[in-house]
Structure 1
């Protein structure tokens, strides 16, 4: 994981306004969000075809209301780049049985906290953060 110092850290606005500014840049709220926090994710390697992905993530924390509600007030955290790697074959660690097949239909992500991130993705992520800083500078 590579953190990126940015002026967007600490910016507060409504979930709807921030989403409207970030969505056209390819950011989407990740599916694993809770009502208290989540991440605006943007894949950095959209043109690559391989079994892992690099993402720029901007953390979002609920200040008033719930993440996902357009009028909720949220605060942005420090952006970072992460390598999120998935197995592209069957997960041989999975349980066997009908219940397992219904619940564990996808492979587990591989641990990537210590994964090296190529300068190409760091540069692309940093440039994207600079663009976001310009787009949301009026919210400070």
Structure 2
């Protein structure tokens, strides 16, 4: 994991407004969230089962995340690498998953894989965060 020094860290904004801006920059709101915190993800690179993500975490300051009006505060963005498991899962849920299709995604082999060329991905992450921040500068405090 590479933490990024960023202008967005500590800034506050309305969740609904910034969600649309993140989306317009290719960042998705992670569906695995709590009502008091969440994160936006962007794929920086995907190759041979390895994906490098930019992740921008945030915390709810006022309201709940299931409402667009929630006030959020951004945490420190970071870059992380996931290594995908291409094999079959043979755990206790495999039969249910195979027959129902309820769990189509396997757990990564490594959720925090070693990142080569750290300066390249640090720079890429900082650039994406800066572009996003510049698009929402009028919406943050």
Q: For this structure pair, what is the TM-score category when the shorter chain's length is used for normalisation?
A: 0.7 to 0.9
Q: Equivalent residue for 1:109?
A: 108
Q: Which runs of 5+ in 1 are unaligned?
A: none
Q: Equivalent residue for 1:84?
A: 82
Query: Shift of residue 5 of structure 1?
Result: 0.8
TM score, norm. by length of structure 2: 0.82
Distance in 1, Cα, partners of 2:55 & 2:116: 14
Distance in 1, Cα, partners of 2:31 & 2:18: 17
Q: Equivalent residue for 2:128?
A: 128
Distance in 2, Cα, partners of 1:96 & 1:18: 37
Distance in 2, Cα, partners of 1:68 & 1:126: 28
Is 1:118 aligned to 2:121, yes or no? no
RMSD of Structure 2 on Structure 1 (CA): 2.2
Q: Equivalent residue for 1:15?
A: 15
Query: Shift of residue 49 of structure 1?
Result: 4.1
Query: Shift of residue 122 of structure 1?
Result: 2.6
TM score, norm. by length of structure 1: 0.83
**1:30-88 deviation line (CA, Å, top 9, x unaligned):** 1211111111111111xx44212111011011111112421111111111001022201
Mark the CA change 1:105 to 1:114 in structure 2 (over 3 Å): closer, same or farther.
closer
Q: Which runs of 5+ in 2 are unaligned?
A: none
Mark the CA change 1:81 to 1:10 in structure 2 (over 3 Å): closer, same or farther.
same
